[in-house]
Each structure stands twice: as structure tokens, then as C-alpha cells.
């Protein structure tokens, strides 16, 4: 993601505690995509662990990762928990359990209907507006236009062609997210076609629960019902219902609380679950972290231009406060957290959850690429200087200047991330 001259690693600081590399990757990813916490339910954690292992070590579609019995032994859990974890993977389209003598957990590439189904469930709860969907479409169109101009200027070369192919896969995923937001406003037209592709009863039940409680009906902390009541309502046994609940828990849509007066409670999902699915999709397409992160440079620059169009004095003040907090930070750990707040204050101007998904998904993918994504800290003086240029253009409501400054920041902080004069390409 960058050069040693411009970055220092917090983990190399004197007396820094030794942290497992996988834990550090997971923490950095969670910070980048806004995951609030690591799931408490074993099945959800096992599903995440399996997907993370595939992302880190290579996504081999068609590979067998062990039988139900072998997975239970590997993770030290009973087979019921393994089945719940497998249902989560099946709902996400990343793996399924194949029966028979040569069976086991079969690694898959998430198909369009898996992405669409999960994104529709998420978009229904967000209630994306027509304006937000339009801005997301506009951003993707601008990115494609700028990529085409960049390719024309660079001429034919293998590196550029590989980056363009990677961009097509990433942008195709983002297109599906926007389609889901559009479809979420017309569930009757899309729901049956999605349900027809769902493989398991648990996934059907999870989808039905989301369909039955959407929009204003989905209120934080609202009790969905006791387990026996839900079994009767959806005509399933407790085993299937619990598998469905684990799917919804993995998506951050519900939380189950034991004890009298509790049960299954609704909650507002964050972007973490879909960002995780994006990581799986990128890995299954055999995309390199460098190629995906290069696209982040284009997406962030167009998003910055959109932010500059509508920034208010209050937005500029919020950005200034975030930068001041980063400036005053003294420890590497504190700086690491405040960098995210500076970036968030910039893109929060848009108030667009779809564009937020694009930015976080593309930026987070290099987290899983060995040491390159572990706790990297920007050179403070350089970062502040480049950020000041971006802020100045946003305050002036200068979209072209803001896009150019953001892309310059991207290139200077990540010199291997891209090439070209982005400001000249903006239109």
C-alpha cells in the first residue's frame, strides 16, 4: 500500500505488544469498514474465520475444506454449530456443504443473486433515497469514464490491462449493490426471483423475516418474538430457525438475548457484512490488492468531487475538528484511529451509504495482504499537508480541484497505487 519512506509501522515501535498478524488484519479491516464488534456467536465467528482464511491464502473455487465432522474437530465445536456456520456461508454464496463420499465444504464464488439478495435486505433497512441512488450511479459512471481516459493515455500495456479487468469485476459488484437499492423499493417485483434461488430452508426463513419487517417496521431494539412463536409463524423447527437467526446475526440485522423478556431483537446493520462479502468476491475473482486499491484512488477522487459540490461551512468545520484531533495526537495508536475519523469526516458530507460501501470495500481489501496492510501509519507532516489541499478545495466548493487534490494525496501516500493526471480527466 505504500513505501517504507512514507510509512512507519506501529507494531515496530519499542515495547509494542506482539499481536497475532491475523488479529491485526482483522482489527484494521473492522476499523476501515465500520464493523462494531466481533460477533459473539460461535457460528458467525467460524464463518468469518473460514472466509478470512480463503482471502488470505488464496480463494480456490471448487476446493474442499473438510467434512462436517472435520470442521467440528478443527474448531472445537459440536456439529450443530458447524451446520449453523455452513448456512451462513451458503447464504453468502461463499461455500456450501456437498454430500457424498467425496463431499465436504465446497468453496464457491459468490454469484450475483447471493450479492443481490443480501444487499436488498440491507438496502431495505437503510431506505436509500432516489437522490442517493442517483449519486451512486453518477459516481460509477464517472469512474468508468476516467478509467477509459486513463487507459487511452497509458496505451497498451499488460499492467494497465490487468488493472482494467480488475476494475470491471469490482465495478460489477458495485453495480449490483446499486441495483439492490433500486429493487428494495419494489420488493414484490424482485422478492420471488430472489427466493427461488435460495438453496436452504434457513436462508428462506431469514429472507422472509427481513421481508416481513422492513422500513418503519424495523426499529432498533424491537422484539421480533420468542423462539417458539417464530417457529410456529414460519412453520419450521427450532434447528432451522436458529440457523436462520445466525444468518441474520452475521448480517448485523438481529441480536438474540437469552433470558425472560428477551428473545430476538432487531438492530440496524452496519456496512461491515456487505464489505466482507465484497472482500470474498474480490478474492474469488483472483484480484490483487494493488489492483483493487488502485481503483479506490478513482472512487475516492470522484466521491471527493461530489462532496465539494455540496459542502457547507458546518461540513468544513467538522473536517477541521477531525484534522485538529489528528494533529494533536501523540501516540501511534491514537493517530491510527484518528486517521479514519479524518477520512470519514470528508466523505460524511455525502451522507450516502452506497458510496460509503464502495469506498470502504475497495480501501479495505489490501488489509488481508500480509504485512502490507498491518497498522500502517502515514507520515504525519506529509499527510497533513496533502489533506489541507483537499480540505481547501472542498471549502471553496471546487469539485475539480478537490478531485485533483484527493488523487494527488492518493498517489503521494501510496506511490504504487496509480498514475496519471486525475484532475485533467474530471468532467
What does the alpha-carbon distance between residue 107 and residue 105 come to, in Å, rounded to a whole number?
A: 6
Q: 312 falls in which pLDDT band (50, 70, 90)?
A: very high
Q: Residue 5 burial (CB < 10 Å; 0-12/13-18/19+)?
A: exposed
| Grid cell at residue 303 | 466521491
Q: Is the pLDDT of residue 427 over 70?
A: no
Lowest mean pLDDT among 190-199, 279-288, 334-343, 403-412: 190-199
Bridge partners (DSSP) of residue 105 are 97
316-367 residue pLDDT tens: 999 999 999 999 988 887 887 888 899 999 999 999 999 999 999 999 998 8
Tell me the domains of the chain and their CATH numbers: 39-108 (1.10.10.10), 119-183+274-425 (1.20.120.530)
pLDDT in the model for residue 422? 39
Going by C-alpha positions, the residue among 249, 247, 245 that lies closest to residue 269 is 249
Q: 77 falls in which pLDDT band (50, 70, 90)?
A: very high
What does the alpha-carbon distance between residue 248 and residue 122 come to, in Å, rounded to a whole number?
A: 10
What does the alpha-carbon distance between residue 386 and residue 35 come to, in Å, rounded to a whole number?
A: 27
Going by C-alpha positions, the residue among 294, 299, 293, 300 that lies closest to residue 279 is 293
312 dihedral zone (left: phi>0; alpha: psi -120 to 50; beta) = beta
- Mean pLDDT for 188-199 is 55
| Grid cell at residue 140 | 460509477
CB 206 within 8 A of CB 146: no
Which long-range contacts (C-beta less than 8 Å, at least 24 apart) are formed by 60-66? 60/107, 61/107, 61/108, 61/109, 61/284, 62/106, 62/107, 63/106, 63/107, 64/98, 64/102, 64/103, 64/104, 64/105, 64/106, 64/107, 65/95, 65/104, 65/105, 65/106, 65/107, 66/104, 66/105
167-179 residue pLDDT tens: 999 999 999 999 9
SS3 category, 218: coil
Going by C-alpha positions, the residue among 351, 349, 343, 347 that lies closest to residue 413 is 343
- Mean pLDDT for 269-280 is 90
- Please give the DSSP secondary-structure letter assigned to residue 96: E
26-66 residue pLDDT tens: 888 888 887 777 788 899 999 999 999 999 999 999 999 99
Q: Is the pLDDT of residue 284 over 60?
A: yes
Give me the percent of the chain exceeding a pLDDT of 90: 49
pLDDT in the model for residue 259? 61
Q: Is the pLDDT of residue 206 over 50?
A: yes
Q: 424 falls in which pLDDT band (50, 70, 90)?
A: very low
Q: Give phi and psi for 261, each to the nearest 5.
A: 85, 0
Give me the percent of the chain exceeding a pLDDT of 70: 81
79-111 residue pLDDT tens: 999 999 999 999 999 999 998 888 999 999 999
SS3 category, 171: helix
Amino acid at each position: 500500500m505504500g513505501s517504507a519512506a512514507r510509512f512507519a509501522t506501529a507494531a515496530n515501535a519499542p515495547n509494542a505488544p506482539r499481536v497475532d498478524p491475523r488479529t491485526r488484519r482483522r482489527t484494521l479491516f473492522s476499523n476501515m469498514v465500520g464493523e462494531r464488534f466481533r460477533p459473539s456467536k460461535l457460528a458467525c465467528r467460524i464463518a468469518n474465520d473460514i472466509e478470512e482464511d480463503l482471502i488470505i491464502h488464496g480463494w480456490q473455487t471448487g476446493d474442499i475444506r473438510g467434512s462436517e465432522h472435520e470442521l467440528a474437530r478443527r474448531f472445537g465445536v459440536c456439529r450443530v454449530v458447524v451446520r449453523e456456520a455452513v448456512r451462513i456461508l451458503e447464504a453468502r454464496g461463499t461455500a456450501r456443504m456437498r454430500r457424498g463420499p467425496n463431499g465436504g465444504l465446497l468453496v464457491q464464488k459468490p454469484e450475483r443473486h447471493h450479492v443481490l439478495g443480501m444487499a436488498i435486505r440491507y438496502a431495505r433497512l437503510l431506505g436509500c433515497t432516489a437522490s442517493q441512488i442517483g449519486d451512486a450511479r453518477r459516481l460509477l459512471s464517472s469512474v468508468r469514464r476516467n478509467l477509459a481516459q486513463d487507459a487511452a493515455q497509458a496505451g497498451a500495456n499488460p499492467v494497465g490491462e490487468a488493472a482494467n479487468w480488475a476494475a470491471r469485476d469490482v465495478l460489477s459488484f458495485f453495480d449490483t449493490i446499486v441495483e439492490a437499492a433500486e429493487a428494495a423499493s419494489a420488493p414484490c417485483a424482485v422478492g420471488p426471483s430472489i427466493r427461488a434461488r435460495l438453496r436452504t430452508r434457513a436462508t428462506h426463513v431469514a429472507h422472509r423475516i427481513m421481508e416481513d419487517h422492513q422500513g418503519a417496521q424495523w426499529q432498533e431494539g424491537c422484539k421480533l418474538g420468542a423462539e417458539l412463536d417464530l417457529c410456529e409463524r414460519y412453520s419450521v423447527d427450532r434447528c432451522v430457525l436458529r440457523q436462520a437467526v445466525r444468518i441474520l446475526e452475521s448480517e448485523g440485522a438481529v441480536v438474540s438475548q437469552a433470558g425472560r423478556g428477551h428473545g430476538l431483537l432487531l438492530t440496524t446493520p452496519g456496512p461491515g457484512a456487505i464489505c466482507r462479502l465484497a472482500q470474498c468476491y474480490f478474492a474469488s475473482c483472483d484480484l490483487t490488492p494493488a489492483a483493487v486499491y488502485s481503483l479506490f484512488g478513482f472512487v475516492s477522487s470522484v466521491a471527493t468531487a461530489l462532496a465539494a459540490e455540496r459542502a457547507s461551512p458546518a461540513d468544513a468545520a467538522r473536517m477541521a475538528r477531525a484534522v485538529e484531533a489528528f494533529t494533536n495526537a501523540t501516540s501511534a495508536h491514537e493517530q491510527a484511529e484518528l486517521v479514519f475519523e479524518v477520512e470519514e469526516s470528508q466523505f460524511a458530507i455525502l451522507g450516502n451509504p452506497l458510496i460509503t460501501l464502495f469506498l470502504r470495500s475497495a480501501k479495505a481489501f489490501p488489509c488481508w495482504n500480509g504485512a502490507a496492510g498491518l497498522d500502517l501509519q502515514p507520515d504525519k507532516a506529509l499527510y497533513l499537508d496533502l489533506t489541507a489541499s483537499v480540505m481547501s478545495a472542498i471549502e471553496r466548493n471546487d469539485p475539480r480541484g478537490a478531485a485533483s487534490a484527493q488523487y494527488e494525496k492518493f498517489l503521494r501516500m501510496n506511490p504504487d497505487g496509480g498514475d496519471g493526471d486525475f484532475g485533467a480527466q474530471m468532467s
